[in-house]
Amino acid sequence: MELRNDNKTNTSMFRSIDWMTIVLYMALVIMGAISIYAASYDFDNASIFSFQEFSGKQITWIGLSLIIGCGILLIDYRIYESYAYPIYIGMLLLLVVTIFIAPDIKGSRSWLVFGPVSLQPAEFAKFATALALAKLFSSYNFVLNHKASNYFRALIIIFLPIILILMQKETGSALVYISLIFVLYREGMSGMVLFSMVCAIAYFVITVKYSMPLIMGIPNGEFIVFVLIILVFIGMLILFCKDLIVARNIFIGYLVSIGIIYVLSLFDIQINGRIYFLSTLIAALVYTSISMFRHRIDKHLITIGFVIVSVVFMFSTNYVFNNVLQPHQQNRIKVTLGTIEDTRSVGYNVNQSKIAIGSGGVTGKGFLNGTQTTLKYVPEQHTDFIFCTIGEEHGFVGSVTVLIIYLALILRIIYLAERQRTAFGRVYAYCVASYLILHLSINIGMVIGLCPVIGIPLPFFSYGGSALWGFTILLFILLRIDASRKERRD
Amino acid sequence: MRKDYSLEKRKYIIGGFITLIVIIYIIRLFNLQIADNNLKEIADSNAFLRRTIYPARGLMYDRNGELVVFNQPAYDVMMIPRDVENFDTIAFCRTLNISVEQLRAYWADMKDPRKNPGYSSYTPQKLISHLSQEDYGRLQEKLYLFPGFFIQKRTIRQYQHNAAANVLGNIREVSASDIERDSYYRSGDYTGDLGVEKSYEPYLRGEKGVEILMKDSRGRIKGKFDEGRHDRSPSAGRNLTLSIDIKLQEYGERLMQGKKGAIVAIEPATGEILAMVSSPTYDPSLLVGKQRGKNYRALVNDSHRRPLFNRALQAAYPPGSTFKPTQALIFLQENIVTTGTAFPCYGGYVNRGLKVGCHGHASPIAVRPALETSCNAYFCWGFKNMIDKRGTKPADQLNKWKDYLVEMGYGYKTGVDLPSESRGFIPNAEFYSKSYRGANWSGNTIISVSIGQGEILATPLQIANLSALIANRGYFYTPHVVKAIQDTTLPKEFTTRRVPHIDKKHYDVVAEGMRMAVTGGTCRTANLPGLNVCGKTGTAQNPHGKDHSAFMGFAPMNDPKIAICVYVENAGFGATYGVPIGTLMMEMYLKGEISAEHKDLEQRMINAKTF
């Protein structure tokens, strides 16, 4: 009877594992290994399993990942919750130690070398941070919005690893933790924060990218941003403050002012755009603040504040970009935004990776037939630029398939998150989803030339044991927590 | 735990966010992979080095199988501009023995869109052409120091004999318009210029081969693409056997040195041109290799000698009395005269205040002796009687006259297989209606055309062709300088007889007249024992200076092996230069040597200078 009971619990655990996630995971891992083989293929026809080759090593790492994954599934799920903080603190200590004992590899001190094996603790800090954040949110009566100190505690958990990883000079890996903002959003943080971030990025890109020609005496980028600020202002008055009257009056006011400018231009009187926008915005803001006392003031205040901050942000962006950033940093940003062509230094990787992907066509050139891949035109092709191989050898069909698999995996994880009965499970799952969202967006965006070059791997795909194990642990802990969701009785 | 359902909805925002990003990325991938073809080309130029393998250009042999034109290797320095990194310019220049300024000039030429319209930084471009063997050796050794550069082997021409430049032509680099016209050519290729090199270009050039090599990101060659499956081996150009007898050609050029003019010798039975001399001429090897540009300009600018002007077929001269046999044929065929019809000649043709002078001979005179003595009056009367024949219109008669001449190869290009042939000129009725502005004209007013003067113009080739026509007694083949093309047959137009509508018996009469001219008439010098030469002199008046000296003839009379025309500008009577040179040419060709009694004559001709 005892045996049968055991079997039964094992079977139920086995059954309640989310197999769909495992299938998606395996698909990505296997395609990754094949792509790595293609990326390092060099005409001497080494076997895909040869340990001399990246692909052979990667297959070894995959084997070890599966063992790690099975191990995680066999461990009692309560361990993760109970030991979340100790794991987190242990991992922070490891990061600290790494700063001091890691050798300098291309300017970064993030690798711990144990004989032939090197590990990157930053990759393992991801699941530890996720556990800690989940633990925080599952503490008794914790509601993010109830106290400002709750935000503070959450941000501490997020920013400690960021600071330590930045000290290792691994900017890319550090950036990944910013994605946890999605978790905070899901747990109640105001959507305004996300909206502001989107606005900030948009304003920044537009201001920096478009500096010519001048419209009304100001750069066209600045002009566009001013228009956007006005549109966002009116939009917020309508959707956020529900103050249709003020919105309408401001809108009419702008129409009138445009008419005046047009009439003046007929008499050859030019008005400086900056003066026009600033004066009209101040007038509109003053009008809004006078009329806001008829309503709930807080939303109007937020709106007014948002507009003021936007304008200040725009001007400071320009200032910081032109006067604070080093020329090489400016270049890097400009290359990314496409304002300057660069095929040799900064833009070389991106240019070559675009060529490789672009040459793939609809169905690609076929496995091992990618000329750009096999002839090593794209640097880092087995690691951060691995997506090129898919793009060149399997074409549009292959690239889209891979993207769809990632999207399916992320959406599946969000689905898993929402079916958790505990805040711990849910927050942890959202952490996993957030990491993947950021990794996918930045990595693919970089390879296809839409994002700046930030060296972070494509999860499950890129060559490297640390990244693979880090993500495997991250995902399998989620699977283990999810598998036992019904056992919890809260 | 109580669920906050308003917050749960935020899963849609997060899920929507990543979905949106994936959609944007898919659109971007669509643009890169499907909409933008540019990237594929860049990828190919990244990875592939398409190395052209040039075929050996076809060789040329003379009619006796002697090699005339062959190939020698030449080396060009090529580069793919975008693969060229900063290199040691000084070392590069030292290796090639050039100055930095020269290198800069080559570089500028390469990038000049007018000189090199096919310039692209992604494809191989020619920087320097025609390296010497030593420079080639040195550069080959140090090539590894200069990534992006490579050496392209090609062939340029070499000539066994300093002769026949006007027939052979030469090769030059293709121009922008060549590339535009014919997709076979790429910048830096060679194409035939002038002569056989130009007219037989499609046969001579062969088919280029291509070798597709893969190069990695550092420009290192990683072997053949797809195991060479997409390579194409070149097929060599076809060899040509010329109809030219190079010995005879050389001899003709010697005889013509110091004189302006042309010799054309044709084998009547086939229309094959045995020799085609244009004088002054030039050494064909001047137009080969590095010095070509400079030498070519010098030849073009030599406006006094005009060596590039192929007088044998580009110069249209008044044929003078060499034209008379055509008139005899037409009058006989048109029944204007019979062999017995005689016209009076007392010092010339005198009619209605018009006089065409003649020289002393018996009168009246019939067709054979008229040819023998080259009587102007006879042909003037014949012409007048034909054009002004009662019951006909001069216009119709003149056009009929013209049609015979056209059939005999005058007035239009003969169709010889060499470029830039002149058509000469034979007037028709319309021409005179226009030039007389509607006023009446008659055979009398245009009488000088009957003796090959006036408006009549013909090339030495056309005159030689007439000689072949009479030799054949009634037909000729379009003259040509190529006897055979390797692995294929000659174009049909060179193996089809062209037969004017004139009866054979009339040719016999004319041939007899021409035989009489040699035995007892105007060209007695040509009376080679045992060869039965037939001939006709010509002394063409010319408004610009001294008369031109001309001769046409063939031999032997009843088994003709050679038909010839000699035309020497501003050299006086036909008998002074035309006849002796024609005689020596025929003797050389038919006997293989010059007899002792003609040695003096030979020396005199070689040494004579007429300009």
Mean pLDDT, residues B18-38: 92
Instruction: List the single residue in B10, B29, B44 with the smallest CB-CB distance to A185.
Output: B10
Secondary structure of residue B215 in the 3-state scheme: strand
Instruction: List the single residue in B7, B24, B33 with the smallest CB-CB distance to A361.
Output: B33
Higher-pLDDT residue of A210 and B248 is: B248
Structure tokens at B402: 């013209």
Q: Do B213 and B259 belong to one domain? A: no
List the Cα angle A483/A487/A488 in 5-degree steps. 110
List the Cα angle B48/B55/B243 in 5-degree steps. 160
List the one residue out of B540, B545, B532 whose CA is nearest residue B567: B540
Q: Look at chain B and report how many structural domains it folds into.
A: 2
Least confident of A46-60, A197-211, B314-328, B479-493: A46-60
Q: Would you state the pLDDT for residue A12?
A: 67
Q: Do B274 and B174 belong to one domain? A: no
Alpha-carbon radius of gyration of chain B: 34
Q: Would you state the pLDDT for residue B440?
A: 83
Mean pLDDT, residues A145-159: 90
Residue B15 belongs to a domain: no
A438/B contact by beta carbon, under 8 A:
no
Instruction: List the single residue in B14, B21, B48 with the smallest CB-CB distance to A414.
Output: B14
Q: Do B176 and B141 belong to one domain? A: yes
List the Cα angle B312/B316/B322 in 5-degree steps. 85
Are A407 and B223 in contact (CB < 8 Å)? no
According to DSSP, the β-strands at A117-119 and B476-477 are unpaired
Distance from the B83 Cα atom to the nearest Cα atom in chain A, whole angstroms? 11
Q: Would you state the pLDDT for residue A411?
A: 97
CATH assignment at residue B103: 3.90.1310.10
Q: Which residues contact B391 (CB under 8 A, 6 or more apart)?
A: none
CATH assignment at residue B521: 3.40.710.10
User: At B8, is the pLDDT very low, low, confident or very high (cuts 50, 70, 90)?
Assistant: confident
Q: Do B71 and B106 belong to one domain? A: yes
Least confident of B17-31, B42-56, B414-428: B42-56
**Which residue segment(s) compose the domain that B123 sits in?**
49-242
Pairwise CA distance, residues A398 & A401, whole Å: 5
Task: Find, in chain B, the residue whose alpha carbon is nearest to that of A449.
Answer: B28
Distance from the B142 Cα atom to the nearest Cα atom in chain A, whole angstroms? 25
Instruction: List the single residue in B28, B38, B223 with the smallest CB-CB distance to A43.
Output: B223
Mutation to test the A interface, candidates B22, B121, B216, most A Cβ within 10 Å: B22
Tell me the CA distances in angstroms from B224 to B51, B153, B215, B229, one per residue in order: 11, 19, 9, 9
Q: Do B58 and B90 belong to one domain? A: yes
Residue B207 belongs to a domain: yes
Mutation to test the A interface, candidates B14, B23, B28, most A Cβ within 10 Å: B14
Q: Would you state the pLDDT for residue B574?
A: 77
Is residue B481 within 8 A of residue B411, CB to CB? The reply is no
Q: Do B90 and B182 belong to one domain? A: yes
Q: Is the pLDDT of residue A348 over 80?
A: no
Q: Is residue A160 exposed (0-12), middle (13-18) or buried (19+ Cβ within 10 Å)?
A: buried
DSSP state of B166: H
Cβ-Cβ contacts under 8 Å, A430 against chain B: 14
Mean pLDDT, residues B382-400: 91
A445/B contact by beta carbon, under 8 A:
yes
Higher-pLDDT residue of B306 and A108 is: B306
Distance from the A458 Cα atom to the nearest Cα atom in chain B, whole angstroms? 14
Is residue B268 within 8 A of residue B468, CB to CB? The reply is yes
What pLDDT digit, counting tens, does each position of B261-308 carry?
999 999 999 999 999 999 899 999 898 877 888 899 999 999 888 999
The ipTM assigned to this model is: 0.87
Are B33 and A399 in contact (CB < 8 Å)? yes
Q: Is the pLDDT of residue B119 over 90?
A: no
A75/B contact by beta carbon, under 8 A:
no
Are A377 and B40 in contact (CB < 8 Å)? no
Measured CB to CB, residues of chain B less than 8 Å from chain A are 1, 4, 7-8, 10-11, 13-15, 17-19, 21-22, 24-26, 28-30, 32-34, 36, 38-40, 42-44, 46-48, 214-217, 222-223, 225
Q: Do B235 and B252 belong to one domain? A: no
Residue B38 belongs to a domain: no
Mean pLDDT, residues B456-469: 95
Q: Is the pLDDT of residue B123 over 80?
A: no
Q: Do B336 and B474 belong to one domain? A: yes
Q: Is the pLDDT of residue B126 over 80?
A: yes
Pairwise CA distance, residues A338 & A117, whole Å: 39
Residue B542 belongs to a domain: yes
What pLDDT digit, counting tens, does each position of A203-216 carry?
888 887 777 677 77
Q: Do B234 and B350 belong to one domain? A: no
Are A359 and B4 in contact (CB < 8 Å)? no
User: At B56, is the pLDDT very low, low, confident or very high (cuts 50, 70, 90)?
Assistant: confident
Are A395 and B33 in contact (CB < 8 Å)? yes
Q: Would you state the pLDDT for residue B1?
A: 44
Q: Is the pLDDT of residue A3 over 60?
A: no
Q: Is the pLDDT of residue A354 over 60?
A: yes
Residue B473 belongs to a domain: yes
Residue B93 belongs to a domain: yes
Mutation to test the A interface, candidates B6, B12, B13, B18, most A Cβ within 10 Å: B18
A273/B contact by beta carbon, under 8 A:
no
Q: Would you state the pLDDT for residue B603?
A: 93
Q: Would you state the pLDDT for residue B233?
A: 86
Interface contacts A/B by beta carbons within 8 Å:
131
Structure tokens at A70: 């099975």
Least confident of A229-233, B84-88, B305-309, B431-435: B84-88
Q: Is the pLDDT of residue A1 over 50?
A: no
pTM of the predicted structure, to 2 decimals: 0.63
Q: Which residues contact A109 (CB under 8 A, 6 or more apart)?
A: A98, A99, A102, A103, A168, A169
User: At A350, is the pLDDT very low, low, confident or very high (cuts 50, 70, 90)?
Assistant: confident
Distance from the A164 Cα atom to the nearest Cα atom in chain B, whole angstroms? 28
Q: How many CB atoms lie within 10 A of CB A322?
A: 11
A474/B contact by beta carbon, under 8 A:
no
Q: Would you state the pLDDT for residue A340?
A: 65
Q: Do B232 and B259 belong to one domain? A: no
Is residue B69 within 8 A of residue B60, CB to CB? The reply is yes
Q: Would you state the pLDDT for residue A5?
A: 44
Angle of helix A465-483 relative to helix A121-137, nearest 10 degrees, comes to: 20
Q: Do B523 and B442 belong to one domain? A: yes
Pairwise CA distance, residues A436 & B284, whole Å: 75
Residue B369 belongs to a domain: yes
What pLDDT digit, counting tens, does each position of A9-23 carry?
555 667 788 999 999
Cβ-Cβ contacts under 8 Å, B15 against chain A: 410-411, 414
Q: Is the pLDDT of residue B353 over 80?
A: no
Mean pLDDT, residues B371-398: 91
Mean pLDDT, residues B564-578: 89
Are B46 and A185 in contact (CB < 8 Å)? no
Are A450 and B25 in contact (CB < 8 Å)? yes
Place of tokens 């293609």: A38
Q: Do B350 and B279 belong to one domain? A: yes
Instruction: List the single residue in B15, B24, B32 with the smallest CB-CB distance to A358.
Output: B32
Structure tokens at B6: 């308003």
A377/B contact by beta carbon, under 8 A:
yes
pLDDT averaged over chain B? 89
Residue B303 belongs to a domain: no
Pairwise CA distance, residues A137 & A186, whole Å: 12
Q: Is the pLDDT of residue A2 over 70?
A: no
Mean pLDDT, residues B336-348: 89
What pLDDT digit, counting tens, does each position of A400-453 carry?
999 999 999 999 999 999 999 899 999 999 999 999 999 999 999 989 988 877
Q: Would you state the pLDDT for residue A405?
A: 97
Mean pLDDT, residues B393-422: 93
Instruction: List the single residue in A359, A376, A403 with the smallest CB-CB distance to B39.
Output: A359
Cβ-Cβ contacts under 8 Å, A377 against chain B: 46-47, 216-217
Cβ-Cβ contacts under 8 Å, B5 against chain A: none
